[in-house]
Chains A and B, each alone.
Chain A
Amino acid sequence: MTRTSHLQIRDFKGDIPRADAEQLERVWSRPKGLLGWLVTTNHKDIGKRYIVTAFIFFLCGGLLAALMRLQLMKPENSFLGPDLYNQFFTVHGTTMMFLFAVPIMEGMGIYLVPLMLGTRNVPFPRMNTFGYYIYLLGGILLFVSLFLNVGPDAGWFAYVPLSGPHYSPGKRVDIWSQMITLTEIAALVGAVEIITAVFKHRAVGMSLNRIPMFVWAQVVTSFMVIFAMPSIMLASGVLAMDRLAHVNTHFFNPAEGGDALLYQHLFWFFGHPEVYIIFIPATGFVSTIVETFSRRKMFGYLGLVLSLVSTAFIGFGLWVHHMFATPVAELGQGFFTGASMLIAIPSGIQIFCWLTTLLTGKPQLKTPLLWVLGFIALFVLGGLTGIMLASVSLDLQVHDTFFVVAHFHYVLIGGAVFPLFGAFYYWFPKWTGRMLSEGLGKLNFWLFFIGFNLTFFPMHILGLHGMTRRIYTYVVESGWGNLNLLATIGAGVMALSVIVFLTNVFVSRKSGVIAGANPWGAPTLEWGTASPPPPYGFLYLPTVQSRDPLWSDKDSPVIVGLSNTKREVLNTTILDAMPEHRYELAIDSIWPFALALAAGGSFIGAVFNAWAIPIGAALSFLVLSLWFWRGNEPKFLLEGIQHTPSSPSHPSKRVLEETPA
């Protein structure tokens, strides 16, 4: 490469060009106060915000689930009426999928990926901030509508014709469909951030075969987001057009040649990959936690990576197994049954790699690992019912029953929420600088594990006994009362467990054990900087020589020569991660927030009037122009914002006391 002629690799004795921590702190910090909070573009701020917001939505969705369990606790209960029950199960499912699961996984990626790559921020920091605000607007829209008693009530999938203009008059479904648009914009924005960061911002030396498993999981997920989310945006968008007065298209109106099944195809072409969009990041948590607590390098790294990639590919080829109760051609049934069973192969490979790593290592049974072990048990159970449901004949028998509810709660809670709790315990010290309590953590785990099984295991049996989904009550003679009561008790235990977790977080944040940079003795780069990390991430950008730099690398060189006076990062080549060029990132800005208001307002307005779209588009373009026109921030916001004109970059000559990280 000709590029290497620009590079100087030197050995310094004592007087290496020093990075200047104070200066970096000034350049990379957000402004003080509420305005600073509004304009920040730091991936750590935005990542944390995603995680906290999504967790609050998890609590809201969980509360709705608890209320539904109270209603189903006994036969012919009158605690919730049918209309409220419909709104609750719709908003519960919608919240858990669109406002909790996807955003929290993406939030983890936005916080952790740049640190694991050894860089300072995501490549498009302002777009990242915009993504968060538009997601927040979508969430607020959904819950405001619920509080106004116009919450969506046609299921989280909003099937036509039920959700069409004839059977769902009013604005409920429109609110659902615009909420989809807002949250999916956020998901797509996050995916572009993560892919580009992984392609271009990796630490020098982090070739493809040295990328941490968590980062692989995030990048594979992001590609799935890019190909899956347009499908739901199209489906919900044209559904809104079908419904909107004066637009009245006929995509799903059979009377004019439209097709209700087309909606199901579009929905599940997104909906099935969605499951993997939630599950694959969770496998990233699992791989990371298993490796750290086994005290050995991951067994079968290549197999794990290939499993993720093949899961992503196969994940796009089995959406029709959600539609076995519709007229699917026999060849199609065979194909989609085969594909659904095929997915067990990469999943199985991953499970065996994790087990082998654990069994041949020296496992330390800390709380994060406990959650991972819980995950393995429950996910295998959920996977087994998954293979059962792939069979058309069995699927037809239990279609729309609680058996299916049990199955997908095992794979989604078992497969994603358990690893997520493990990840909370694992990375909490990095976020806050303090450890969560191990004792409360174990209590949290066991209550959740027991409560979860009490809640969802009986649902398998209820489903086999014929109890259908989405019914607000049932008669005494059905004999379903006892198992339902058991499930409701289980839900109570889970709620207790979440309260233990929240207590643990609030107590430990104030008085937990101080963590230090690397409390678990973990191998990946995010543990190579302080806890919590400074706004600039690393004093010197690190380089790596292996897959587990903090375990194996000795005296890797560090990067010098990046600007101290502007937000500059290093770009590396895609395959080998060799140094390529320096790249200036944008400073904090109010325009992402303004754009979220303009674009979000446009979509929310479209619930009522189609003209909101062109008006909102014009406003958005205006905001984007101001965003592009550099240095055009409102003056009062510039107080404290570091905006330095471009200047030739040179290493600072100031010498600091501390040694490089």
Chain B
Amino acid sequence: MTARSVIDVSRLPSTEMDHRSPIWWGNNLLLVIETTMFGLIVAAYFYFRVVDFHQWPPPRSSHNPMMLVPNPALTIPTINLAILLLSCFPAYIVDRACFRKQSVVVTLNLLITIALGMICIGLRFLEFKSLQFRWDENAYSSVVWTILGIHLAHLITGTCENALMAAWALAKGLDAKHFRDIRITTLYWFWIAGIWVLLYVMIYWFPRW
């Protein structure tokens, strides 16, 4: 038996809460994929605007009387944006409380985030009406419906994920690993809200610009 130097790692921590954890990277890479997806569909939106349409949005001839400037309505979408941004506060408290391992604070604020998320989802269905067009009327309506639809899918996914985490917290309690997982889901929620700010400006304000 020869002498051999070793590095003993048994006293290293077994969970990290931040970018040191592989799951943080996995989640963020998936968000990079999703951001690329949105980037491309935004590119398609402007491509249509520049190449294929003289007027944006196009006049709505299917409506009687004909609508010459059918800009998307602002009220519900703006309220919805505000609620989505508001939901980031409890999500932020969840995130901070995960570091301090405060199970009750985490669970409570997670439930508030879920409730606000569900309101956003409900309002989003009304928001489609604000667009003035059905999805199958022209390329403009197809692209804006698709953007809203994909983002709605993220809202639903994010809320379902939050609900799953809350269910685990209520049923099983939280250990370090699940505090970390909850931090990752709040990161996803911040992304959902953040990217919507940009998309909201594009969909609702760019045509007015």
- Which A residues fall within an 8 A CB radius of B? 3, 6-14, 16-17, 123-124, 127, 188, 191-192, 195-196, 199-201, 204, 226-227, 229-231, 233-234, 238, 241, 247-251, 253-254, 256-259, 261-262, 265-266, 269, 540, 543, 555, 557-562, 568, 570-571, 573, 579-584, 617, 621, 625, 628-629, 649-651, 659-660
Binds A, one of B15-23, B69-77, B98-106, B109-117: B15-23
When the two chains form their complex, are residues B5 and A555 in contact, meaning their CB atoms are under 8 A apart?
yes
A127 contacts which chain B residues (CB < 8 A)?
26
Sample of 20 more A-B contacts, CB < 8 Å, known A561-B9, A568-B14, A570-B12: A7-B8, A9-B8, A11-B3, A14-B3, A17-B6, A230-B34, A234-B40, A249-B135, A250-B137, A253-B139, A256-B138, A266-B40, A561-B10, A571-B21, A573-B20, A582-B9, A582-B13, A583-B21, A628-B164, A649-B14
Does the CB pair A257–B58 fall under 8 Å?
Answer: yes
Interchain CB contact under 8 A, A250 and B6: no
Collect the chain B residues with CB atoms within 8 Å of residue A621's CB.
Answer: 157, 160
Render B22-48 as a binary contact track against A, CB cut-off 8 A, 1 for contact. Answer: 110110011011101100110010011
Is B44 touching A123 in the complex (CB atoms < 8 A)?
no
Please determine whether B8 and A583 come into contact, CB atoms closer than 8 angstroms.
no
List of B residues within 8 angstroms of A254 by Cβ? 52
Contact call A248/B136, Cβ cutoff below 8 A: yes
- B→A interface (CB under 8 Å): 1-16, 20-23, 25-26, 29-30, 32-34, 36-37, 40-41, 44, 47-48, 51-53, 58, 135-143, 145-146, 153, 157, 160, 164, 168, 177
**What residues on A are CB-neighbors of B58 within 8 Å?**
257
Chain B residues with Cβ below 8 Å from A201 are: 22
On whether A257 and B138 interact (CB within 8 A), knowing A11-B3, A13-B3, A231-B40, the answer reads yes
Residues of A with C-beta under 8 A to B48:
257-259, 262
Q: Which residue of A lies closest to B11 (CB)?
A: A6
Question: What chain A residues lie within 8 Å of B15 (beta carbons)?
Answer: 581
Contacts of B157 in A (CB 8 A): 621
Known contacts A7-B12, A201-B22, A204-B7; decide if A247 and B136 are in contact (CB<8 Å).
yes
Greatest chain A CB density within 10 A among B10, B16, B143 is at B10
Check A557/B36 contact, CB under 8 A, given A192-B29, A581-B15.
no
Contact residues of A: prevailing secondary structure: mixed
Q: How far is the CA of A550 from the CA of B151 in the complex (A)?
A: 50
Q: Contacts A262-B47, A580-B20 given; indicate if A257 touches B139 (C-beta within 8 A).
A: yes
Q: Which of B3, B22, B140, B146 has the most CB of A within 10 A?
A: B22
Judge whether B4 and A8 touch: CB under 8 Å.
Answer: no
Given contacts A226-B32, A241-B146, A257-B52, contact A250 B8 (CB under 8 A): no
Instruction: Determine the distance from Cα of A369 to Cα of B168 in the docked complex, in whole angstroms.
Output: 55
When the two chains form their complex, are residues A12 and B51 in contact, meaning their CB atoms are under 8 A apart? no
Pick from B9, B37, B51: contact of A570, CB under 8 Å: B9
Q: Is the CB of A581 within 8 A of B25?
A: no
In the bound complex, what is the Cα–Cα distance between A540 and B164 (angstroms)? 37
- Is the CB–CB distance between A12 and B6 below 8 Å? yes
A581 with B29: CB separation less than 8 A: no
Q: A14-B1, A199-B25, A628-B164 are in contact. Are A265 and B7 (CB under 8 A)?
A: no
Q: Which chain A residues lie closer than 8 Å to B9 at the CB level?
A: 6-7, 559-562, 570, 579, 582
B53 adjacent to A257 (CB under 8 Å)? yes
- The interface residues of chain B lying within 8 Å CB-to-CB of A562 are 9-10
A196-B26, A580-B20 known; A259-B6 Cβ under 8 A: no
> Which residues of A sit under 8 angstroms from B140, Cβ to Cβ?
257
Question: A226: which B residues are within 8 A, CB to CB?
Answer: 29, 32-33, 36
The smallest beta-carbon distance between B35 and chain A, in angstroms, is 9
On whether A12 and B3 interact (CB within 8 A), knowing A226-B29, A226-B36, A581-B15, the answer reads yes
A254 CA / B51 CA spacing, docked (Å): 11
Given the interface pairs A582-B9, A629-B168, the reply to whether A659 lies near B138 with Cβ below 8 Å is no
Which residues of B are found within 8 Å of A200, using beta-carbon distances?
20, 22, 25
